[in-house]
């Protein structure tokens, strides 16, 4: 049967067949469909099994050469097409590490086989190319556990259209809500929410959006709306048939906002005073007071120093400290964020005197600077476009090198095409020449314009994520058409607020913390217990490594000593990311080698749990003569008062009646060693979920 099929196909004249084939339009989609040109297969940096392809077919000429000219001609053998190595391995007729990929006799098999038989033509460079994709349907409201087959149509430069569904790549950005298989079949799951499914083909992308409401009776929202944020969140929740949880109590708000804004816990005295205050505006007044504390500048300077890579390694001690002081000073004085960005991007002068100029010493290559600026200030990742089209977005190599050209001293050239690329902003048209003078100036002006599509949204999204525990776009520095915000109207509303208030970060923080959404309890109701993206309730947040260490030191009353950092009493104040600390390393402190938020570890581990339970350092603080427990045991002779003070110290709240009774009973069991009993109680509070998470 195989012999007859071969004779039948070869009977077609090769010259007639050659005119019908185009390598980029016909063969590359097949290699992409079966994963051959994926980064985990032959598109790895070193290739696979001696055979290397470009990522997702981004370099057709190189892929053509690899298939037709390398491997001693065994990969494509026009004299006997079926014996070509690419077909023998693809069909599993000879051992192949990737397994059987290309079904023998399938349409794709015949296409590749006939292309080889036709002499492996590359095709004309002037042939029509794909300019856009259409996904049908574009959006749908679907029930739970329901299927939807997608259709992907490619539009070519000559106006022609072609169904390319079977060769498109698909990916869901929220698999808890909806999954998609390799053939474009979407299947919703039993979690209410929204998902965006990406379809990609030959460098172009488009999306299908699905909303999955909660089934059942209409959810009743009885919660107040305190500002525009609540209205926009509630509108989205209504579409999902989800009701928000109620407001958190004063103790929850107190602890939450202290940790979010300053990285510290309120003292027991501060907690008592706030809980006893009957003023209706006490929450707003608390936020305003925290914004003026030096601890606010310490915490938020640490966050921006991570992203802007304040790193002693490449800078040295003095210049890194100067760089950090500039960052912290800008936050302490509430410098408008647009001025902050402009000052950094256009910095010039001696690096020993001008703090932000050190940004250009941490990253010395124009491409690295461009990628960092894009990721930190625009929330857009363009690094992968250095070598190939972005696999999940519209950015191409010309976009990457267009941004790179802003920081280059000469003419920037696309290494694949050897053509010059002139400085131009993301999404803009390339001009006929580079700007005259310092190219960074027009870049900074474009970035901070009120109508910039990225800048204010990126700031809003980052601040929202730092306060709410996750971004409206998540990851926060991966903004793209195929990863849209969970609430686009809210992100637009926040960005508008930022622009109208002249990029005042503190006013943005006040607006968010004044909302009911920020002040919602973590306790779910029957409609929102599975919601993880729409802010119908507050989410548990794991404190940053530095904040967690400071929380422990503050609660136990014994500061940490940091080698080589005299005068630093809190981990959040450590401007030097290289300062040694086994605890900070274990709990995910970033190394500041990249500008990615992903550098900061958030995942729990067994090692972390064992450290908290058994650490000699924590035990030493717990039992320290000058520590909190020892002091409270001396000051509070009444066991009930001692339990209250411990709860206020660790949890920022008074114990419930049951908790107080258990604590008093425990202390009463060991009257001869009351301090040891109190240490046991403090150890239990320290290792509780309530202490270890911000909620």
- Mean pLDDT, each 10-residue run in order, the chain (695 residues): 38 49 91 80 75 81 87 85 89 81 88 92 90 95 97 96 95 94 96 94 92 94 97 97 98 98 98 97 98 98 97 94 97 98 97 97 94 96 72 78 95 89 93 95 97 97 98 94 93 98 98 98 95 95 97 97 85 91 94 91 92 95 97 96 98 98 95 95 97 97
Strands 204-212 and 139-141: parallel
163 backbone dihedrals φ, ψ, rounded to 5°: -75, 115
Task: Check residue 488 and give its pLDDT.
Answer: 96
3-state helix, strand, coil in the chain (%, to 5): 45, 10, 45
Nearest to 632 by CA among 565, 593, 682, 670: 682
Helix (H, G, I), strand (E, B) or coil at 643: helix
Number of C-alpha atoms within 13 angstroms, CB side, residue 157? Answer: 7
- Helix (H) or strand (E) run with residue 179 in it: strand 178-180
Q: Is 184 left (phi over 0), alpha (psi -120 to 50) or beta?
A: left
Q: Rounded to whole angstroms, how far apart are CA atoms 210 and 204?
A: 20
Q: Is 0.95 surpassed by the pTM of this model? A: no
* Cα angle for residues 44, 50, 53 (degrees, 5° grid): 45
C-alpha radius of gyration, the chain, whole number = 30
> The tokens of 662 are what?
């258990």
Query: So where are the chain's domains?
Result: 2-117, 130-212, 545-692
Nearest to 454 by CA among 387, 508, 514, 381: 381
CATH number of 130-212: 2.60.40.10
Task: Check residue 447 and give its pLDDT.
Answer: 97
Strands 147-149 and 139-141: unpaired
Helix (H, G, I), strand (E, B) or coil at 134: strand
Task: Check residue 460 and give its pLDDT.
Answer: 98
Task: Check residue 59 and give its pLDDT.
Answer: 82
Task: Check residue 393 and give its pLDDT.
Answer: 66
The DSSP symbol for 469 reads: S
Q: Rounded to whole angstroms, how far apart are CA atoms 467 and 510?
A: 11
């Amino acid at each position: 049967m195989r012999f007859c099929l071969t004779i039948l196909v070869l009977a077609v004249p090769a010259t007639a067949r050659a005119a019908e084939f185009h390598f980029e339009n016909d063969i590359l989609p097949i290699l992409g469909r079966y994963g051959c040109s994926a980064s985990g297969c032959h598109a790895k940096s070193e290739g696979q099994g001696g055979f290397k392809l470009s990522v997702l077919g981004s370099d057709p000429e190189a892929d053509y050469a690899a298939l037709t000219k390398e491997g001693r001609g065994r990969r494509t053998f026009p004299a006997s097409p079926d014996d070509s190595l690419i077909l023998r391995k693809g069909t599993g007729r000879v051992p192949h590490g990737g397994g059987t990929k290309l079904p023998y006799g399938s349409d794709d098999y015949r296409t590749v086989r006939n292309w080889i038989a036709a002499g492996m033509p590359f095709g004309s460079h002037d042939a029509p190319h794909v300019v856009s994709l259409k996904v049908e349907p574009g959006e749908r409201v679907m029930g739970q556990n329901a299927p939807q087959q997608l259709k992907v149509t490619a539009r070519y430069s000559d106006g022609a259209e072609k169904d390319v569904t079977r060769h498109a790549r698909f990916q869901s950005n929220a698999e808890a809500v909806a999954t998609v298989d390799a053939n474009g079949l979407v299947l919703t799951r039993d979690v209410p929410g929204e998902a965006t499914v990406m379809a990609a083909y030959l460098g172009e992308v488009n999306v299908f959006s699905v909303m999955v409401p909660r089934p059942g009776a209409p959810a009743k929202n009885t919660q107040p709306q305190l500002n525009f944020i609540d209205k926009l969140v509630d509108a989205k929740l209504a579409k999902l048939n989800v009701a928000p949880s109620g407001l958190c109590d004063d103790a929850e708000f107190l602890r939450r906002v202290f940790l979010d804004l300053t990285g510290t816990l309120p003292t027991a005295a501060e907690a008592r005073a706030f809980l006893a205050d009957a003023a209706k505006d006490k929450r707003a007044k608390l936020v305003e007071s925290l914004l003026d504390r030096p601890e606010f500048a310490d915490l938020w300077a640490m966050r921006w120093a991570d992203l802007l890579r304040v790193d002693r390694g490449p800078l040295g001690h003095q210049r890194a400290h100067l760089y950090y002081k500039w960052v912290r000073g800008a936050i302490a004085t509430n410098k408008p964020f647009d001025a902050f960005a402009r000052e950094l991007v256009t910095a010039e002068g001696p690096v020993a005197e001008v703090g932000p100029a050190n940004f250009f010493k941490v990253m010395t290559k124009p491409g690295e600077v461009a990628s960092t600026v894009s990721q930190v200030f625009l929330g857009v990742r363009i690094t992968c476009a250095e070598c190939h089209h972005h696999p999940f977005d519209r950015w191409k190599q010309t976009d990457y090198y267009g941004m790179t050209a802003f920081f280059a001293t000469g003419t920037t050239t696309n290494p694949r095409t050897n053509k010059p690329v002139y400085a131009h902003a993301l999404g803009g048209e390339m001009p006929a020449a580079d700007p005259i003078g310092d190219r960074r100036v027009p870049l900074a002006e474009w970035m901070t314009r009120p109508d910039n599509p990225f800048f204010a949204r990126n700031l809003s999204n980052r601040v929202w994520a730092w306060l709410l525990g996750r971004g409206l776009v998540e990851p926060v520095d991966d903004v793209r058409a195929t990863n849209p915000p969970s609430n686009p109207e809210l992100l637009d509303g926040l960005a508008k607020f930022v622009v109208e208030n002249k990029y005042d970060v503190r006013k943005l923080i006040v607006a968010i913390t004044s909302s009911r959404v920020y002040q919602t309890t973590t306790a779910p109701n029957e409609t929102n217990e599975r919601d993880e993206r729409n802010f119908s309730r507050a989410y548990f947040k794991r404190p940053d490594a530095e904040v967690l260490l400071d929380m422990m030191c503050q609660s136990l009353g014994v500061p940490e000593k940091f080698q080589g950092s005299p005068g630093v009493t809190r981990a959040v104040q450590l401007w030097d990311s290289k300062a040694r600390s086994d605890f900070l390393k274990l709990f995910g402190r970033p190394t500041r080698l990249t500008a990615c938020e992903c550098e900061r570890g958030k995942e729990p581990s067994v090692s972390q749990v064992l450290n908290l339970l058994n650490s000699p350092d924590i035990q030493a603080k717990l039992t320290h003569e000058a520590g909190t427990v020892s002091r409270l045991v001396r000051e509070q002779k009444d066991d009930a008062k001692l339990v209250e003070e411990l709860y206020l110290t660790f949890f920022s709240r008074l114990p419930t009646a049951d908790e107080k009774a258990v604590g008093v009973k425990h202390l009463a069991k060991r009257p001869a060693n009351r301090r040891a009993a109190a240490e046991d109680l403090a150890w239990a509070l320290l290792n509780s979920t309530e202490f270890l998470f911000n909620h």
